[in-house]
Amino acid sequence: MPRTIDTLTARILPDSRIVTVKGRDAWALRNLVSAGPVGCTPIDQPGPRWAHYVFKLRRSGLIIETIEEKHGGPYAGTHARYVLRTQVEVVDESGRAAA
């Protein structure tokens, strides 16, 4: 059964400051850590408010780059790719089984 992440605690390297985020912010940080230097887009990892999650993670002290990318199709335009530039070590994740 899939698990949702309720809380994620990470150590910012090299200074070892601890950051704990909850809910969708934890989900977003887990996706950013997993994606590595490739980063995440709302197209690849759908989430209702990626920009807000990134805003809140930045406010926690994380450096996240926003790269604007063009896309085609019937609704051609641009979308954001978010790349975590802060080196972090995940030290704890807690969650519950998804229904």
Q: What is the pLDDT of residues 13-63, one digit of tens each?
A: 999 999 999 999 999 999 999 999 999 999 889 988 999 999 999 999 999
Structure tokens that stand for 59 in this block: 């406010």
- What is the rounded distance in angstroms from the CA atom of residue 80 to the CA atom of residue 45? 12
Angle at 14 between CA 89 and CA 11, to 5 degrees: 30
Residue 1 pLDDT class (50, 70, 90 cuts):
very low
Q: Give the domain extent around 85.
A: 3-93
Domain contains 83? yes
In a domain, 26, yes or no: yes
Closest CA to 45 of 56, 37, 55, 34: 34
Total domain count, the chain: 1
User: Does residue 17 belong to any structural domain of this protein?
Assistant: yes
Domain contains 77: yes
pTM over 0.85: yes
Residue in the block written with tokens 């309720």: 6
In a domain, 99, yes or no: no
